[in-house]
């Protein structure tokens, strides 16, 4: 599809700064740019530290979702996991209450200001809340080295983990960790090794992961993500990048296009936001979210508009990143 003119993107671009309920990924406010294409609202929201080249995939995804019709969904609801930030153990129950009906929790671990005992206590608290039938997965965001990861998996294994997400940064370390811990039967999932890699298929080709975490925006959109899923030949979890409900809709359409969706998806993160861009957000209900486009509320765009300085920063970023396409 030909690129829409830059002027067409700039004409509808709106930048918002949405507060989070709990600090997450080191931020308290999530900034995002919303664009309106012929198919509806779409989102361009690479994190601030991402360079223009890496951000170009996010813009491709935004254009794909806003300017092209989506594949016919195979389902109209997507089961999702709850997401537990790196909070104190006594705050876990309160976080999980916001994710109505979720049977799965993804617990953040390996944060720089937390110790392994902190992580163990947080996972133990999630297990108490969910009970023996609940599913618990942990996400280290590549913050452990190989030996730390092996030690941590041993410490956390008592809580019946569904999988460990991106325990180490490199594909080689993931492969070695998978070899060392295979006897424990805890799968290794790759996230950053897919979405931030020059070759998103390298981790699968190296036998370094049992499943892949797939995010539509960082991978260039729904169609590009579908190609990666097909080529990898591994089970996948479709997840979000702390998107607004507009970005979550993109992820929901991706998840709805996958015929064999084995795992609950990480698309329930609207519950982490203290504000959104729509009066009808993609909130978790009975452990799932709807597959639908989102109607953006202009009043909410005004209420949560980023500062003029940050808006100009995003507009300049859009122009630069567009040049890479």
182 a catalytic residue: no
Q: What is the pTM of this model?
A: 0.96
In terms of pLDDT, which residue wins out, 82 or 27? 82
Q: Which residues of 152-171 are buried (b: 16+ CB within 10 A; e: fewer)?
A: bbeebeebebbbbbbbbbeb
Q: Is the pLDDT of residue 322 over 80?
A: yes
CA–CA gap between residue 246 and residue 226 (Å, rounded)? 19
319 a catalytic residue: no
Q: Does domain 6-69+299-324 have CATH number 3.30.390.10?
A: yes
Q: Where in the chain is the domain with CATH 3.30.390.10?
A: 6-69+299-324
The string of pLDDT tens digits covering residues 50-64 is 999 999 999 999 999
pLDDT at 134: 98
pLDDT at 23: 86
The string of pLDDT tens digits covering residues 104-151 is 999 999 998 899 999 999 999 999 999 999 999 999 999 999 999 999
The mean predicted confidence, pLDDT, of the chain is: 97
The token pair that represents 175 in the structure block: 């492969």
Residues contributing to the annotated binding site for Mg(2+):
139, 165, 191
Write phi, then psi, for 59 (nearest 5 degrees).
Answer: -70, -40
Q: Does domain 77-297 have CATH number 3.20.20.120?
A: yes
CA dihedral 244, 226, 72, 286 (to 10 degrees): -50
Q: DSSP letter string over 124-158? A: HHHHHHH-TTSEEEEE-TT-S-HHHHHHHHHHHGG
Q: Is the pLDDT of residue 88 over 90?
A: yes
Residue 177 banded pLDDT, cuts 50, 70, 90: very high
Mean pLDDT of 239-244: 95
pLDDT at 71: 86
The string of pLDDT tens digits covering residues 207-222 is 999 999 999 999 999 9
Helices 171-181, 146-156: inter-axial angle, 10-degree rounding: 40
Longest Cα separation, the chain: 56
Residue 16 banded pLDDT, cuts 50, 70, 90: very high
pLDDT at 24: 84
Q: Where in the chain is the domain with CATH 3.20.20.120?
A: 77-297
27-37 sheet: strands from edge to edge: 14-24, 27-37, 40-44
Q: Is the pLDDT of residue 1 over 80?
A: no
Mean pLDDT of 277-292: 98
Q: Name the catalytic one among 106, 182, 215, 319.
A: 215
Mean pLDDT of 169-184: 97
């Amino acid at each position: 599809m030909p690129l829409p003119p830059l002027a067409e993107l700039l004409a509808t671009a709106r930048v918002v700064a949405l507060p989070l309920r709990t600090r997450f990924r080191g931020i308290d406010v999530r900034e995002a740019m919303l664009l309106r294409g012929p198919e509806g609202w779409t989102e361009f929201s690479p994190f601030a530290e991402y360079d223009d080249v890496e951000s170009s995939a996010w813009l491709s995804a935004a254009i794909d979702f806003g300017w092209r019709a989506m594949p016919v969904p195979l389902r109209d609801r997507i089961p999702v996991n709850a997401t537990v930030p790196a909070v104190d153990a006594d705050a876990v129950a309160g976080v999980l209450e916001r994710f109505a009906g979720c049977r799965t929790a993804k617990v953040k671990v390996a944060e720089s200001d937390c110790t392994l005992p902190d992580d163990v206590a947080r996972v133990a608290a999630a297990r108490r809340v969910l009970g023996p039938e609940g599913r618990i997965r942990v996400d280290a965001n590549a913050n452990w080295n190989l030996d730390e990861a092996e030690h941590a998996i041993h410490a956390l294994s008592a809580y019946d983990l569904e999988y460990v997400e991106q325990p180490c940064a490199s594909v080689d370390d993931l492969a070695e960790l998978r070899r060392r811990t295979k006897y424990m039967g805890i799968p290794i999932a790759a996230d950053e090794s897919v979405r931030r890699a020059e070759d998103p298929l390298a981790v699968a080709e190296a036998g370094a992961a049992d499943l892949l975490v797939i995010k539509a925006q960082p991978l260039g959109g729904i169609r590009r993500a579908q190609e990666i899923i097909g080529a990898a030949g591994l089970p996948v979890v479709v997840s979000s990048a702390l998107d607004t409900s507009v970005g979550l809709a993109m992820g929901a359409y991706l998840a709805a296009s996958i015929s064999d969706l084995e795992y609950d998806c990480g698309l329930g993160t609207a519950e982490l936001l203290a504000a959104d861009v729509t009066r009808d957000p993609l909130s978790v209900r009975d452990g799932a979210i709807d597959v639908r486009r989102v109607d953006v509320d202009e009043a909410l765009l005004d209420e949560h508009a980023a500062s003029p300085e940050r808006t100009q920063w995003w507009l300049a970023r859009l122009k630069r990143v567009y040049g890479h396409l």
